[in-house]
């Protein structure tokens, strides 16, 4: 679906939160709290670390953030958790997590977008800070519960994950105090975001109905995690449908990228791969779709069944126009037999999509595999220089290439940039200190690295 910024330039009529929220919790403090939580989440929760999955959800989230009229999309981070429970949450500072189980429950991109838009609204409306402004002591207790869960997780990963999810749920419902008013406000703003992003706003009520239906079919007898933290009743669904009816009705265009993303996620996270493949195979035999053909091709490629992978790839070629995800899969399938041809394809694809790190990552893997390290160095540095917001993983990959080429100082400096992007400032400082040991005293490199170390120390002191 095409995305236009014409409505964004008109700006949403978002209510100002005023000074009470600012006095209780400043924007800088929200960023600090969020960054701290995110560091713990990266260490404690089973994040889906596949670059293509992360790229899709971040692009979707960026599109929705831009539709709020904000331009600070770099301050929002979207990520997927490998968890079959249906849940999503936002934490201070613009971090939004979505469980794989919730994504699996959604049938269309608009429906997933509606959940993400709702979470963005909780952030833009600063519900965290407003809870602090009410003086709700439970907020501190919920924060302590999250930190305690992290400690538990260090000893027992499974118990820690369950406790952390529980703690996040507590912080959502108890400290943020997601009253009906909070939820209705997030629904209203979320619908505005959907409309401004050229999504069909009716999708929010559709997503609510899916969640309610899934809850009624839940054999455990427990309420879905998402509904515990985001109470849902008939009135909210009706209100969401009524609000959407006041917006222009948009023609639905099925998102092929969403189908491919969902298929990839299901293959990578399925707890019963054999059953998942039987389901996709059954669907494929009835009617080939981008989702089932991609899933079968990806699984065949991962199982080294190249003949089957090529068969399903041929099907994809007949039903899907050019797609980066399909082309990346093609490169994986062809790289074993013809790495030079695979790199040429990836180079052309990278020119079409210069900001997609997933393409760069695949090119670098191909070049490193064939020991073309100088070419890999050029590809990595070119991407970092021209990308608007380079993926932090590019710095880590560059560091590995530099190390293999014997550039120890450059490798440490690149690792510092990687850790800095993840707000791991002490680790970033350590890498700069190691880089300084490798350069000549009084050189331009020493001057640059010393300035960088000072900046990191100043930044860390501001965050204390």
- Rounded CA-CA distance 418/398 in Å is 10
> What pLDDT sits at residue 73?
65
For 405-446, the three-class secondary structure string (H helix, E strand, C coil) is CCCHHHHHHHHHHHHHHCCCHHHHHHHHHHHHHCCCCCCHHH
438-to-249, 289, 413, 431, 446 alpha-carbon distances in Å:
62, 54, 11, 11, 9
Do the domain assignments include residue 204? Answer: yes
Q: Is residue 285 part of a domain?
A: yes
State whether 207 and 323 are in the same domain: no
Do the domain assignments include residue 438? no
Residue 314: inside a domain: yes
Last residue of one domain, picked from the residues 218, 245, 272: 245
CB 160 within 8 A of CB 145: no
Domain range for residue 220? 8-245
CB-CB neighbours of 297 under 10 Å: 27
- Mind listing the pLDDT tens digit of every residue in the chain (464 residues)? 343 333 333 334 433 334 455 555 677 777 777 788 888 888 888 999 999 999 999 999 999 999 998 766 678 999 999 999 888 888 878 899 999 999 999 999 999 999 999 999 988 887 666 655 555 444 444 544 544 444 334 334 455 555 555 555 555 444 434 556 777 888 889 999 999 999 999 998 899 889 888 877 655 555 566 666 666 667 788 888 888 888 887 777 789 999 999 999 999 999 999 999 999 999 999 999 999 999 999 999 999 888 999 999 999 999 998 899 999 999 888 876 666 777 888 888 988 888 899 999 999 998 998 899 999 999 999 999 988 889 999 999 999 999 999 999 999 999 999 999 998 999 999 999 999 999 999 999 999 999 999 999 988 877 66
* Distance of alpha carbon 401 from alpha carbon 277, whole angstroms: 37
* 177 lies in the same domain as 209: yes
Q: In what order do the strands lie in the sheet with 95-99?
A: 77-81, 95-99, 88-91
**Structural domain total, the chain:** 2
Whether 174 and 304 map to the same domain: the answer is no
pLDDT at residue 2, rounded to an integer: 40
The answer to whether residues 67 and 185 belong to one domain is: yes
Contact by Cβ (8 Å): 179, 229: no
Do 170 and 314 lie in one domain? The reply is no
Q: Are residues 235 and 92 in the same domain?
A: yes
Phi, psi (degrees; rounded to nearest 5) at 78: -115, 135
- Please tell me what DSSP assigns to residue 315: H
189, 220, 245: which is the final residue of a domain? 245
Cβ distance 253 to 1 under 8 Å?
Answer: yes
E strand or H helix that includes residue 170: helix 157-170
Does 240 lie in the same domain as 274? no
- Examine residue 352 and state whether it is found in any structural domain, yes or no: no
- Are 54 and 190 part of one and the same domain? yes
| Rounded CA separation 8/12 (Å) | 7
Residue 261 near residue 326 (C-beta atoms within 8 A): no
72, two tokens:
């600070």
Q: Which of 304, 319, 337 is the last residue of a domain?
A: 337
Asked whether residue 141 falls in the same domain as residue 69, the answer is: yes
How far, in Å, CA of 153 to CA of 150, rounded? 5
In a domain, 146, yes or no: yes
DSSP-based three-state secondary structure for 7? coil
Contact in structure between 452 and 421 (CB atoms under 8 Å): no
N-to-C CA span, the chain: 44
Shortest CA distance to 460 belongs to which of 431, 428, 414, 418? 428
Q: Does any domain span residue 112?
A: yes
Identify whether residues 213 and 278 lie together within a single domain.
Answer: no
**Whether residues 49 and 182 fall in one domain:** yes
Q: Please indicate, yes or no, whether residues 55 and 155 belong to a single structural domain of this protein.
A: yes
Q: Which residues are paired to 88 by β-bridges? A: 98
Where does residue 175 rank: exposed (0-12), middle (13-18), buried (19+ CB within 10 A)?
buried
Q: What is the DSSP letter of 9?
A: G
Q: What is the pLDDT of residue 37?
A: 80
- pTM of the predicted model as reported, rounded to 2 decimal places: 0.84
Residue 163: its pLDDT value, please?
A: 56
Contacts 24+ apart (CB under 8 A), 9-16: 11/69, 12/68, 12/69, 12/189, 12/192, 12/193, 12/196, 13/192, 14/68, 14/69, 14/124, 14/125, 14/189, 14/192, 15/125
Residue 159 falls inside a structural domain = yes
């Amino acid at each position: 679906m095409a995305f236009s910024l014409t409505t964004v330039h008109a700006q949403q009529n978002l209510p100002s939160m005023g000074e009470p929220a600012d006095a209780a919790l400043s924007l800088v403090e929200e960023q600090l709290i969020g960054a701290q939580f995110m560091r713990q989440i990266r260490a404690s929760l089973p994040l889906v670390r596949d670059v293509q999955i992360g790229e899709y959800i971040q692009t979707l989230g960026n599109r929705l953030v831009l539709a709020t009229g904000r331009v600070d999309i770099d301050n929002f981070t979207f990520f997927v958790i490998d968890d079959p429970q249906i849940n999503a949450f936002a934490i201070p500072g613009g971090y939004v997590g979505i469980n794989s189980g919730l994504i699996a429950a959604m049938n269309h991109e608009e429906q997933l977008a509606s959940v993400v838009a709702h979470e963005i609204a909780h952030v833009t409306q600063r519900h965290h800070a407003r809870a602090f402004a009410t003086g709700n002591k439970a907020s501190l207790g919920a924060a302590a519960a999250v930190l305690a869960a992290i400690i538990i997780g260090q000893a027992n990963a499974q118990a820690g994950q369950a406790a952390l999810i529980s703690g996040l749920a507590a912080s959502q419902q108890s400290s943020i105090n997601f009253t009906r008013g909070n939820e209705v406000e997030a629904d209203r703003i979320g619908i505005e975001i959907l409309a401004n992003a050229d999504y069909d706003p009716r999708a929010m009520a559709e997503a609510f109905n899916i969640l309610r239906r899934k809850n009624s079919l839940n054999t455990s007898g427990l309420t879905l995690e998402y509904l515990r933290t985001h109470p849902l009743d008939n009135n909210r669904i009706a209100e969401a449908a009524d609000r959407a009816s006041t917006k222009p009705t948009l023609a639905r265009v099925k998102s092929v990228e969403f189908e491919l993303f969902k298929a990839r996620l299901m293959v990578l996270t399925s707890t019963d791969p054999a059953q998942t493949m039987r389901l996709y195979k059954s669907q494929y035999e009835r009617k080939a779709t981008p989702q089932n053909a991609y899933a079968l091709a990806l699984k065949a490629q991962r199982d080294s069944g190249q003949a089957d992978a090529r068969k399903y790839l041929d099907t994809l070629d007949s039903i899907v126009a050019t797609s980066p995800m399909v082309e990346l899969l093609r490169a994986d399938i062809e790289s074993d037999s013809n790495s030079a041809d695979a790199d040429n394809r990836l180079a052309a694809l990278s020119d079409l999509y210069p900001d997609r790190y997933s393409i760069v990552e695949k090119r670098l893997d191909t070049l490193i595999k064939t020991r073309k390290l100088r070419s890999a160095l050029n590809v990595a540095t070119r991407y970092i220089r021209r990308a608007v917001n380079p993926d932090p993983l590019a710095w880590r990959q560059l560091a590995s290439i530099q190390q293999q080429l014997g550039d120890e100082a450059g490798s440490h400096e690149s690792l510092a940039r990687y850790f800095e992007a993840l707000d791991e400032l002490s680790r970033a400082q350590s890498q700069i200190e190691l880089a300084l040991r490798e350069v000549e005293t009084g050189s331009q490199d020493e001057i640059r690295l010393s300035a960088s170390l000072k900046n990191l120390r100043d930044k860390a002191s501001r965050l204390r």
